[in-house]
Chain A
Amino acid sequence: MHNVYTVGQINNYIKNMFRQDFLLSSLTVKGEISNCKYHSSGHIYFTLKDGAGAIACVMFRGSRERGLKFQLQEGQQVQVTGSVDVYERDGKYQLYASSIVLDGAGALFERYEKLKKELEERGMFAPEYKQEIPKYIRTLGVVTAPTGAAVRDIINIATRRNPYVQIILYPAIVQGDEAKASIVKGIRTLSEQNVDVIIVGRGGGSIEDLWAFNEEVVAEAIFNCPVPIISAVGHETDTTIADYVADLRAPTPSAAAELAVYEMDLLLQDINDYQNILCRRIEEKISKLKIKSANDRRLLEHLSPQARIREKKMRAAASYEKLEMLMLDKIKGKRHQLDVDIQRLKALSPLEKLNSGFSYVSDENGKNIRKIEQVKEGDKLDIYVSDGIIQSVCLGTSGRNER
């Protein structure tokens, strides 16, 4: 005897079986994506398959925000977390995805985060350990693959900027199991060559391709390297542990070459500019001093003893002239006085008296006779007249009134 069930009943029965299963309510399945369709409703439908089979999957629009960080593509290896449930309308079960990560990436990302945190706590990213990148280098070390765009970009840009910088390449293995040891060896080998700066890097790739740059030994080699290191791993959006430890992070290998190698033309230009500035400064200085010296000279001339001497000389000359004038006046006056005196004296001269008829009488001894009592009879007398002397003898005397 058996019961007859409707389709709905049986599908519902199966759905309940699934729902009660602990494993199916929450699980992670890995496989390759195929038949991926982004529906206009926002839901994503795809099939997850591997060598053994396939399972239908759906991710509803509501889960995408939190559960999917990348664009699903055919052939991707992914891990899908969600629940398996029955879609009653079609009578089929499917995996309802709540989150999808790239396979491998999930585990790697976790390792990355763990190591990053650990190294950060050890201070290996601290700015005080960053070495300065020298501006004018002579030798550049490069640790990267000897083939591919990265090494070409670095060499092209470095030599274009400055063909005189010596580039030493350590041809490293940059992906796969041997990569970390090869990169570490490259850093050590180049630092022993006393290069001025080392670029460590590679071109873009998947997180697995770049993984060597997230290895602890590589981080330590970079941290311990005495030569400043510029990291240049992948594209701008890829940040590896090496980038955090390096003294400087370049977004790409090309950018690393630009950061490491100075432009020769600019240096020559700088030297030239400095020379011009120096010349200009010294010329300015000299012309300023010339002006100052001319000013000082004028000032000094004004204050010099010569100027004072000249001034005194002029005063002296003026005084002299004045004195001379006064003196001449005085002399003239005296001379005039003298003439007057001469006339007066002339008038008083005895000779003049003789000329006008008077005589002068003296005794034998030349003594002037003024009174009668000075002579007696018989005395010899000299009488001076205008043209000579009359020797005479006194015959007698009589007073004025006796005559």
Chain B
Amino acid sequence: MAKKSEAKELTIEEAFDAVDEKIKALESEDVSLEDSFNLFKEGMDLLKHCNDSIDKVEKKVQKIMEDGRMEDFE
């Protein structure tokens, strides 16, 4: 499996899928402790990426004109 270390490129959905994989791997019996720690860290990094990628600024509804101009709606 090619490992996407660059979490920055992932969408939130992909990141969740990747976390699922890490969890599944963590649950398997024959993974070493060192690998477990790596999996754990990668999972946490992915979740941090999810959290960081949420742009927590409230948006005003925009209205776009035929010519592409935008203005606040309302």
Interface on A for B, CB 8 Å cutoff? 134-136, 138, 146, 155, 159, 163-171, 185, 189-190, 192-193, 264, 267-268, 270-271, 274-275, 277-278, 281-282, 285-286, 289
Bitwise interface map of B from 15 to 28 toward A, beta carbon under 8 Å scored 1, else 0 = 01001001100110
B1 at the interface (CB under 8 A from A): no
| Cβ contacts under 8 Å, B62 to chain A | 166-169
Which of B37, B44, B58, B63 makes the CB contact (< 8 A) with A164?
B58
Which of B26, B55, B56 makes the CB contact (< 8 A) with A278?
B26
B33 at the interface (CB under 8 A from A): yes
- 22 sampled A-B residue pairs with Cβ under 8 A: A136-B11, A155-B73, A163-B58, A163-B59, A164-B57, A168-B61, A168-B62, A190-B64, A271-B47, A274-B43, A275-B44, A275-B47, A277-B23, A278-B23, A278-B26, A278-B47, A281-B40, A282-B36, A285-B26, A285-B31, A285-B33, A285-B36
Which of B22, B54, B56, B68 makes the CB contact (< 8 A) with A192?
B68
B70 at the interface (CB under 8 A from A): yes
| Cβ contacts under 8 Å, B13 to chain A | 134-136
Q: Give the number of residues in B that approach A within 8 Å (Cβ atoms).
A: 33
Q: Are A164 and B33 in contact (CB under 8 A)?
A: no
Which of A146, A164, A169, A171 makes the CB contact (< 8 A) with B55?
A164
- Complex: how many Å from CA A138 to CA B73? 18
Closest A-B pairs by Cβ, 6 of them: A136-B12, A281-B26, A166-B59, A282-B40, A163-B58, A167-B61
Bitwise interface map of B from 34 to 59 toward A, beta carbon under 8 Å scored 1, else 0 = 00110010011001001100111111
- Complex: how many Å from CA A308 to CA B58? 73
Which of A189, A270, A285, A286 makes the CB contact (< 8 A) with B68?
A189
Known: A281-B23, A281-B27, A282-B26. 16 other contacts (CB 8 A): A146-B73, A164-B59, A166-B59, A167-B59, A168-B64, A170-B63, A170-B64, A193-B64, A274-B16, A274-B23, A275-B44, A278-B26, A278-B40, A278-B44, A285-B31, A285-B33
- Complex: how many Å from CA A168 to CA B59? 10
A-B contact count (CB 8 A): 89
Q: Are B66 and A189 in contact (CB under 8 A)?
A: yes
Q: Are A169 and B64 in contact (CB under 8 A)?
A: yes
| Cβ contacts under 8 Å, A170 to chain B | 63-64
| Cβ contacts under 8 Å, B64 to chain A | 168-170, 189-190, 193
| Cβ contacts under 8 Å, B57 to chain A | 164
With contacts A134-B11, A190-B64 known, is A165 near B26, CB below 8 A? no
- Complex: how many Å from CA A146 to CA B61? 12
B50 nearest CB neighbor, chain A only: A271
Tell me how far the C-beta of A143 lies from the nearest C-beta in chain B, rounded to whole angstroms.
10
B42 nearest CB neighbor, chain A only: A278
Q: Are B19 and A278 in contact (CB under 8 A)?
A: yes
Tell me how far the C-beta of B27 lies from the nearest C-beta in chain A, rounded to whole angstroms.
6
- Complex: how many Å from CA A166 to CA B23? 33
- Complex: how many Å from CA A391 to CA B61? 155
- Complex: how many Å from CA A169 to CA B59? 13
| Cβ contacts under 8 Å, B58 to chain A | 163-164
| Cβ contacts under 8 Å, B22 to chain A | 278
Tell me how far the C-beta of B67 lies from the nearest C-beta in chain A, rounded to whole angstroms.
9
Chain A CB within 10 A, most for which of B22, B56, B63: B63
- Complex: how many Å from CA A286 to CA B43? 17
Tell me how far the C-beta of A273 lies from the nearest C-beta in chain B, rounded to whole angstroms.
10
| Cβ contacts under 8 Å, B12 to chain A | 135-136, 267
Chain B CB within 10 A, most for which of A134, A167, A275, A281: A281
Which of A169, A281, A286 makes the CB contact (< 8 A) with B73?
A169
- Complex: how many Å from CA A282 to CA B54? 26
| Cβ contacts under 8 Å, A281 to chain B | 23, 26-27, 40
| Cβ contacts under 8 Å, A163 to chain B | 58-59
- Complex: how many Å from CA A281 to CA B61? 42
| Cβ contacts under 8 Å, B47 to chain A | 271, 274-275, 278
| Cβ contacts under 8 Å, A190 to chain B | 64
| Cβ contacts under 8 Å, A167 to chain B | 59, 61-62, 73
- Complex: how many Å from CA A12 to CA B65? 70
B26 nearest CB neighbor, chain A only: A281
Which of B11, B16, B40, B63 makes the CB contact (< 8 A) with A146?
B63
A281 nearest CB neighbor, chain B only: B26
